[in-house]
């Protein structure tokens, strides 16, 4: 599922070919007579995040100055990936020159010829050799490269340390089991009207996404090993829904609002009245940057009782209609903005100066390479928050096995939304029926896919 680019995670694609301008004047051809090109690029921060948007626009201006003859136009719909519009816009050839693809869609996009073979242009990525080999393999087919890995993450438990303190809980000893999550959630909800101990999604494909996170953590699966049948109608799947049902209707610790879509829970977390949610480290970044949360209030710990943790990510791909000049310019932009130490998203000094939560850990696509080490050192140097708030997550991430999102993830998430919505909206919800119905629908989708 989507995470924001700079996370996570989750930023969205505006999928029109003629997007709003990025804030710079069109560039002129270089003195060497290089052909002038115009490229469209995804992931400009929204107007609701003015400081981050200005930083982006400043980067566009700098990039165009350093690359005479290149004009960059940005799209600003957030988040970068919208599962409802991605497929139709991609099929219609309306994507930007450089666009974001979640890991679950790599194979589909590549196999349908909807991404350019960029093998001849990888030299435009200065740190290409420092990107993790396992992530580069995901965007490679038959020896040809179709994307630049941009984000990698694993899921933990994000929590509000300030609310833990208010509720008499130890913020330095966050829950390690689901029983402890339930107890903590009840105490936070008891703080008063509007307080929610544990937040969860019920729609917009995010409900099914979080169901997947939870069932993986319990050791279950979404699909059988051959990807031919649904596997979530299992004891682990029932445990996920039963726990949520009991927290909602027995403990009254989940509030009364159904949260549909990525932003809904993030807004609630940013309000300072939600105690816990599942998420990767970029959740903290987005809650602070986009939804006005207080940076010192948040921490993240390992997934409760985790037998595995959902691992996902995204890559930049290039529109197959791009000319060689456009492709090269787009890749140089991606390199500048997303892959260079001390610049773009890794300009931690700038991030700190505009109030971003610098210091949040992530499982970077550069791993422990020289580039990865340099990025991490700069992140710690410019940290604007206590990095100890994330120590337990870092420790857990190194020991919990990662597990990729299932094949046909978006279709399956939409089906599982119904089960999530069912237990969170109806006290008398029949969990067995919800899972059986979802299983039947999932198997029909899988049969149709062949």
Decide if 419 contacts 438 (C-beta within 8 A).
yes
Let me know if 294 is exposed, middle or buried by CB neighbors in 10 A (0-12, 13-18, 19+): middle
Q: pLDDT of 340-354, one tens digit each?
A: 999 999 999 999 999
Using alpha carbons, list the distances in angstroms from residue 187 to 194, 298, 311: 13, 17, 30
More confident residue, 246 or 376: 246
Whole-number Cα distances in Å, 402 to 46, 135, 195, 213, 219? 31, 13, 32, 11, 12
Task: Return the pLDDT at 96.
Answer: 93
- Average confidence (pLDDT) over 357-380: 85
pLDDT, residue 97, reads 96
Tell me which range, 7-11, 48-52, 414-418, is most confidently predicted by mean pLDDT: 414-418
pLDDT score recorded for residue 30: 46
Distance CA 214, CA 207 (A): 11
Q: Helices 206-217 and 409-425 meet at what angle, rounded to 10?
A: 90
Question: Which of the two residues, 442 and 391, has the higher pLDDT score?
Answer: 442
pLDDT band at 76 (very low <50, low <70, confident <90, very high): confident
Give burial (CB, 10 Å; 0-12/13-18/19+) of 261: middle
Backbone angles phi, psi at 316, to 5 degrees: -90, 135
Statement: residue 19 has pLDDT above 80: no
193: pLDDT strictly greater than 50: yes
pLDDT at residue 425 tops 70: yes
In this prediction, residues 319-332 reach a mean pLDDT of 96
pLDDT-derived band at 53 (thresholds 50, 70, 90) equals very high
Closest-CA residue to 174 (of 344, 143, 183): 183
User: For the ranges 175-179, 214-218, 307-311, which has the lowest average pLDDT?
Assistant: 307-311
Beta bridge partners, 318, equal 98
| Per-residue model confidence as pLDDT tens digits over 277-311 | 999 888 888 898 888 888 889 999 999 999 998 88
Rounded to whole angstroms, the Cα distance separating 7 from 338 reads: 11
Is the pLDDT confidence value at 32 over 80? Answer: no
At residue 363, the pLDDT reads 58
Residue 4 — pLDDT band, cuts 50, 70, 90? very low
206-219 average pLDDT score: 95
Query: Residue 288's closest CA among 268, 270, 267, 263?
Result: 270
Region of poorest pLDDT, from 183-187, 313-317, 364-368: 364-368
For residue 174, the model assigns a pLDDT of: 96
Q: Is the model more confident about 94 or about 114?
A: 114
Mean pLDDT computed over 54-79: 93
Report the pLDDT averaged over residues 114-128. 93
Q: What CA–CA distance (Å, rounded) separates 438 from 450?
A: 18
Residue 27 has pLDDT above 50, yes or no: no
Report the pLDDT value the prediction gives residue 20, as an integer from 0 to 100.
Answer: 34
Tokens of 135: 């992530």
The pLDDT of residue 146 is 98
pLDDT in tens, 145-155: 999 999 888 89
Return the structure tokens found at 234: 């299992």
pTM for the model:
0.72
Q: In which band, very low, low, confident or very high, does the pLDDT at 391 lie, cut at 50, 70 and 90? A: confident
In this model, does residue 195 exceed pLDDT 60?
yes
Per-residue confidence (pLDDT) for residue 202, from 0 to 100: 94
pLDDT of residue 382: 94
Average pLDDT taken over every residue of the chain: 88
Task: Report whether 44 contacts 53 (CB < 8 A).
Answer: yes
Pairing status of strand 70-74 against strand 37-41: parallel
Percent of the chain surpassing pLDDT 90: 64
Kindly tell me if the per-residue pLDDT of 6 is higher than 50.
Answer: no
pLDDT at 34: 62
Which pLDDT value is given to residue 26? 42
What is the average pLDDT across 361-376?
84
């Amino acid at each position: 599922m989507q995470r924001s680019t700079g996370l996570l995670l989750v930023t969205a694609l505006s999928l029109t070919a003629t997007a709003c301008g990025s804030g710079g004047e069109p560039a002129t051809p270089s003195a060497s007579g290089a052909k002038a090109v115009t490229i469209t690029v995804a992931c400009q921060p929204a107007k609701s995040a003015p400081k981050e948007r200005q930083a982006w626009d400043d980067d566009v201006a700098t990039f165009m100055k350093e690359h005479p003859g290149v004009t960059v136009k940005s799209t600003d719909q957030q988040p970068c990936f919208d599962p409802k519009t991605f497929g139709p816009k991609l099929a219609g050839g309306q994507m930007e020159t450089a666009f974001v693809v979640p890991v679950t869609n790599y194979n589909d996009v590549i196999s349908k010829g909807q991404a350019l073979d960029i093998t001849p242009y990888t030299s435009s990525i200065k740190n290409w050799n420092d990107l993790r080999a396992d992530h580069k393999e995901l965007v490679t087919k038959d020896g040809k490269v179709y994307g630049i890995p941009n984000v990698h993450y694993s899921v933990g438990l994000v929590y509000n340390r300030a609310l833990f303190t208010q509720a008499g809980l130890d913020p330095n000893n966050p829950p390690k089991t689901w029983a402890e999550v339930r107890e903590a959630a009840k105490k936070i909800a008891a703080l008063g009207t509007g307080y929610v101990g544990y937040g969860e999604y019920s729609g917009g494909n995010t409900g099914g996404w979080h169901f997947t996170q939870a069932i993986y953590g319990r050791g279950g699966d979404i699909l059988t090993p051959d990807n031919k049948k649904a596997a979530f109608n299992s004891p682990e799947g029932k445990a996920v829904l039963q726990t949520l049902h009991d927290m909602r209707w027995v403990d009254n610790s989940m509030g009364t609002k159904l949260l549909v879509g990525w932003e809904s829970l993030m807004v609630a977390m940013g309000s300072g009245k939600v105690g816990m949610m599942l998420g990767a480290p970029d959740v903290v970044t987005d809650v602070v940057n986009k939804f006005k949360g207080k940076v010192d209030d948040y921490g993240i710990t390992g997934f409760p009782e985790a037998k595995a943790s959902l691992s996902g990510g995204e890559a930049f791909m290039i529109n197959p209609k791009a000319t060689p000049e456009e492709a090269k310019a787009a890749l140089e932009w991606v390199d500048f903005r997303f892959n260079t130490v001390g610049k773009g998203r890794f300009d931690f000094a700038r991030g700190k100066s505009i109030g971003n939560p610098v210091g949040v850990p992530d499982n970077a696509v550069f791993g422990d390479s020289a580039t990865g080490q340099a990025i991490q050192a700069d992140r710690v140097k410019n940290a604007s928050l206590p990095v100890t708030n994330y120590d337990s997550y870092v420790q857990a991430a190194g020991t919990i096995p990662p597990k990729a999102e299932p094949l046909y993830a978006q279709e399956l998430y939409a089906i599982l939304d119904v089960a999530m919505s069912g237990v969170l909206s109806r006290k008398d919800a029949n969990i067995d029926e919800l899972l059986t119905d979802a299983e039947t629908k999932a198997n029909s989708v899988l049969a149709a896919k062949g």
